[in-house]
Amino acid sequence: MRVILSGGGTGGHIYPALALAEVIKQHEPDSEFLYVGSERGVESNIVPATGMAFDKLSVQGFKRSLSLDNVKTVNLFLRAVKQSKKIIKDFKPDVVVGTGGYVAGAVVYAAQRMHIPTVIHEQNSVAGVTNKFLARGASKIGVAFDVAKQQFPAGKVTLVGNPRAQQVAHIVSTFSWQTLGLRDDKSTLLIFGGSQGAPAINSAVIEAMNTFNLRNYQVVVVTGPKRYDNVLSQLNSQGIAVADNVRILPYIDNMPEVLAKTNAIVSRAGATSIAEITALGIPSILVPSLHVTGNHQTKNAQSLVDDGAALVIAETDLNGETLITAVDSLLLNDKASENMAAQVAKVGIPDAGDRLYNLIQDAILEKKD
């Protein structure tokens, strides 16, 4: 199979595409891939590092207010569509898969105009602008949340989950908390606000630190590289020491292995985070970001809360006291933690990559018919 993958802007669009490529390779080892991303997006660093062939386009998003920049956006899009047609003609894909972001809009749209099978994947509970635009011309549509199905044409859409979940679920972790000077026989909480960190979560951690120091469970705080020094400075200026059961880190580069050994997590509610949490059955306390399109993180989180698979703290309600209360309700109550872990396992879709692969096969076969 020859596959063009496209998605950009955030890791939430990129990592599902890369996870899908792994699954396709498992089914069809001779498959060939080309990833088309934006020249300024993070995918221009992430994808080439995997060894996958990469091509890039110049695109940008629309401004929500009236702006002359939107004229430039349209011109860039039309130019990107033209470039995409040439890339597609040269590569000759059997299918083009879009996972979101403006760059995927140009690539998938070009493939649709060339009558090549296209599949789009929506990771969030609220459909993104690009996928809404592409839905009408798509051959098949896969979604990660059941609630997202109603936002797409009924005859095309299928609940498949997020391919990242299958990638994480099959990891055999050899990680030990002892590498951080902690113990493997104690319950461990991971607090992670995303690759860049989350100031609101970091502030609540600082407020809660004196209490965390006294708990019997362990706490690992990942601040984000740019916020690490600030967190340490604030703790120092307030005379707050960090006890032996707490570790503060700027970043973790082997997150899936660490997650596999985590008893509970405080996290944002992005699509990739939820895919990982549900794949591993981790009880979670979700703090949805307020600064996302369509408030989709709140809706992502609510889908788990409705199934008893997570707790949620609104960012406006987040402080040291609410954080401690939520964490204690899980890590000082074995029954509550076990019940939530069981519910998380039920809502996860560990074979998401296989499901999306099957959807791609259906799209190709329908074209041949």
Binding residues for UDP-N-acetyl-alpha-D-glucosamine: 10-12, 124, 195, 252, 297
Tokens of 246: 């707490």
d(CA 343, CA 40): 40
Residue environment code for 224-236, b if the CB has 16+ CB neighbours within 10 A, otherwise e = beebbeebeebbe
Per the annotation, binding residues are 10-12, 124, 195, 252, 297
Is the CA virtual torsion 92, 136, 162, 127 positive or negative?
positive
What is the C-alpha to C-alpha distance for residues 289 and 300, in angstroms, rounded to an integer? 11
The residue type of 233 is S
CA atoms within 13 A on the CB side of 342: 6
* Whether 45 contacts 76, CB under 8 Å: no
Contact 245, 213 (CB under 8 A): yes
The one-character DSSP state at 124 is S
Nearest of 93, 172, 23 to residue 364 by alpha carbon:
93
The separation between CA 101 and the C-alpha centre of its own chain, rounded to angstroms, equals 13
State residue 289 phi and psi, 5-degree precision: -70, 145
Q: Which residues of 279-310 are buried (b: 16+ CB within 10 A; e: fewer)?
A: bbbbbbbbbbbeebeeebbbbbbbbbeeeebb
Nearest-angstrom CA–CA distance, 101 and 201: 26
**Can you tell me the distance from the alpha carbon of 157 to that of 247, in angstroms, rounded to the nearest whole number?**
44
**CA–CA separation, 268 and 103 (whole Å):** 25
Q: Which helix (H) or strand (E) holds 317?
A: none
Residue listed under structure tokens 């989709």: 296
